[in-house]
Structure 1
Amino acid sequence: MRISYTTDIETITQEGLQDLFLSVKWESGHFPSELLKAMRGSHFVVTAWDGDKLIGLINALSDGVLTAYFHYMLINPGYQGKGIGKEMMALMLDKYQGYETKVLVAYPNVVEFYGKLGFKTAAGTTPMFISDLI
């Protein structure tokens, strides 16, 4: 298995996004055309590939100067635990080196992973959102 990484969003397809998002049981996988638009509207996207199969993705939304918000980060379960997420995040953090704030929302089962990459919880804050998918 040789994993490749790219920031070229033109290689992303609706089908690839749908397969990836549904592999981790995320409801947004049922909206592949919207996901593709979201990736194209992102400030920066890193993808991981096994041949022509999309197996991982992380995207950033940013003001372009001070803050980057890492919205999606997911890896097909068959490829988890192989350093792919770590590599994608390293590419993302390199892109946003020097920014004052890098933010993400982490589910409890991945807090330890993000902690190893340097992220910390912020005392006194609570992540909040409105979603029609929940």
Structure 2
Amino acid sequence: MPETTEIVYRDDANLGVEEAVDLYRRSTLGERRPVDRPDTFADMLRHANLTVTAWRGDRLVGISRSLTDFSYVAYLADLAVDAECQRQGIGRRLVEETRRRLGPRCMIVLLAAPKAAEYYARIGFEHHPRAWVLRGADDARSVPEPIQPSRSRP
């Protein structure tokens, strides 16, 4: 992909599910996201309350998708850049644009894919050794069925 076209960063894009899924697949993040479940993927996009996108012309080349209270903490759920556009500063800029929209006091936390751990350190994130994950039932390592609440006795 030519590097001469300017990258435009937006937080107002009306992002289509197919367009986003295509980017996730081109970025390898699709290996760890439900790209084969369009309803779930649509919900991921719809319920994120801060999404910053990167565009080269009319082509989506990057996304930062976060869940936040806009004051104390933001969970950076996804940072994806088209594999052909990596190492051009797009991921770093997506994080900067996300932080700018959150304000200087809001902390950003994330879970990094093993291959991305060194990248996050290079762009200013600090490693935190205490993170815990309670996986959902759709995960390959599924969890037991939930316990049904007991009924109140009369």
TM-score (norm 2): 0.76
Structure showing the higher helix proportion among its residues: 1
- SS at 2:91 equivalent: helix
Residue matched to 1:109: 115
1:30 aligns with 2:36: yes
Q: Point out the structure with max Rg over C-alpha.
A: 2
- SS at 1:65 equivalent: coil
Superposed displacement of residue 17, structure 1 = 1.1
TM-score (norm 1): 0.86
2:75 to 65, 69, 72: 69
The Cα offsets for residues 33-62 of structure 1, whole Å up to 9 and x where unpaired, read as 432332222121100112222111111101
1:5 aligns with 2:9: yes
Structure 1 window deviating more from structure 2 (55-64 vs 19-28): it is: 19-28
1:46 aligns with 2:46: no
Instruction: Give the Cα separation in 2 of the matches to 1:113 and 1:41.
Output: 27
Residue matched to 2:105: 98
CA contact (8 A) 1:48 1:88 kept: yes
1:59 aligns with 2:62: no
The unaligned stretches of length 5 or more in structure 1 are none
Aligned residue pairs: how many?
131
1:83 aligns with 2:65: no
Instruction: Give the Cα separation in 1 of the matches to 2:94 and 2:11.
Output: 10
Identity of aligned residues (%): 25
Residue matched to 1:19: 22
Instruction: Give the Cα separation in 2 of the matches to 1:37 and 1:129.
Output: 19
Instruction: Give the Cα separation in 2 of the matches to 1:8 and 1:105.
Output: 25
Instruction: Give the Cα separation in 2 of the matches to 1:53 and 1:98.
Output: 32
Instruction: Give the Cα separation in 1 of the matches to 2:8 and 2:54.
Output: 6
Structure 1 window deviating more from structure 2 (29-38 vs 16-25): it is: 29-38
CA contact (8 A) 1:17 1:32 kept: no
Superposed displacement of residue 21, structure 1 = 1.5
Superposed displacement of residue 127, structure 1 = 3.6
The unaligned stretches of length 5 or more in structure 2 are 141-154
